[in-house]
Amino acid sequence: MNDKTAGHDHSGPGHSHAVSVSSANARRILIVFVMTTAYACIQAIGGAVSGSLALIADAGHMASDSAALLLALIAYRVAARAPDSQRTYGFHRVRVLAALANGVALLLLVIWIAWEAYRRLNSPTEILAGPMLVVAVIGLVVNIVGALILSRGGSSDSNLRGALIHVMGDLLGSVGAIAAAIGIMLTGWSFLDPLLSVLVAVLVVKSAWSLVADSLRVLLQAVPQGLEIRAAERDVTQVPGVAEAGHFHAWTLTDDSIVATIHVTPLAGADTLALPAQVAARLRERYAIDHVTVQVDPPGSLGAHDAESEHEHEHEHGHHH
């Protein structure tokens, strides 16, 4: 990195940036994609025939899920490509982008459902509860089967998690539609249909926002949750031969892979060639960081640089008049 480097080490299992892409998870998503697409068509027709917003909204939800699942499948195919000279970390961030798109699509759909429900509440329309109930029950069965298939995959896969959130939202939509249909049959209250649509939308918002927030953390290269930078630096100074540690940066490469860089200075007489591997091993054991780049600087240089940086920080933020 610079001419002061005494030692520099990339450390990780097999020193590979490749992250395994589960073909089993891709197959699960493909099965659910086919089921979801087929049912979205049935539900759209059922919603139009019965006049039910709960079914129409859920059909839109299912259609957006189909698009999101297709995007996830494409992401799996792209993520499986090996790294090249231009993209040395490979294509795994494509999966994070797909998960972000899933979350955003779901949030947009929730807004549409809320607006449509508001419109319906102000001007109620007639609803055929019988056909609505039949279509909603079929939807419930389809979504339960889809959720069971996806839940057997790994929870650390953001694409699979995104797909499961979508299906669970659809499952809630089917339950809401069934409840609305039964309620309308018993009471004749047509406002139950848009009311329950809004309830389902609210339940989905939290999960969708969580998916968006997690994806943005990865894309903004934020420090992984649960990792405290200063504590990790202090921990590294406990490695035999390390005098100081600083300039620690850590970020998430993909769902289950953390990358980090750190500078250290050696104690007098320490084996500078052995330090990088020892520091990397410490960070891997304590913080599950699987790819660490360690730079060894001359004794004393790190502390001086830190003091200079602190002085600049104080000058920038402490002397405004």
The answer to whether 259 and 297 are in contact (CB under 8 A) is: no
Q: What CATH number should be reported for the domain whose range is 23-219?
A: 1.20.1510.10
Choose from 154-158, 203-207, 277-281 the range with maximum mean pLDDT.
277-281
Query: Is a pLDDT exceeding 60 seen at residue 101?
Result: yes
8-22, 63-77, 222-236: range with highest mean pLDDT:
222-236
CB 167 within 8 A of CB 154: no
Distance CA 110, CA 117 (A): 11
Q: How far, CA to CA in Å, does 51 sit from each of 91, 120, 124, 126, 184? A: 44, 11, 10, 7, 12
CA separation for the pair 278, 73 (Å, rounded): 39
Q: What's the whole-number mean pLDDT along residues 29-35?
A: 88
Confidence of residue 59 (pLDDT cuts 50, 70, 90): confident
Contact residues for 195 (Cβ-Cβ < 8 A; gap 6+):
117, 121, 180
pLDDT at 104: 87
Q: pLDDT confidence of 260, banded at 50, 70, 90?
A: confident
What pLDDT was estimated at residue 309? 46
Helix, strand or coil, per DSSP, at residue 296: strand
Least confident of 48-57, 89-98, 168-177, 293-302: 89-98
The CATH T-level fold of domain 224-318 is: Alpha-Beta Plaits (3.30.70)
Question: Which of the four pLDDT bands, split at 50, 70 and 90, describes residue 160?
Answer: confident
Give pLDDT, residue 235: 84
How does residue 141 score in pLDDT terms, banded at 50, 70 and 90? very high
Distance CA 208, CA 82 (A): 30
Q: What's residue 134's pLDDT?
A: 92
pLDDT of residue 196: 77
108 confidence band (pLDDT: 50, 70, 90):
confident
- pTM value is 0.62
Q: Return mean pLDDT, the chain.
A: 77
Rounded average pLDDT over 266-294: 86
Q: Give the pLDDT band of residue 89 (cuts 50, 70, 90).
A: low
Q: What residues does each domain of the chain span? A: 23-219, 224-318
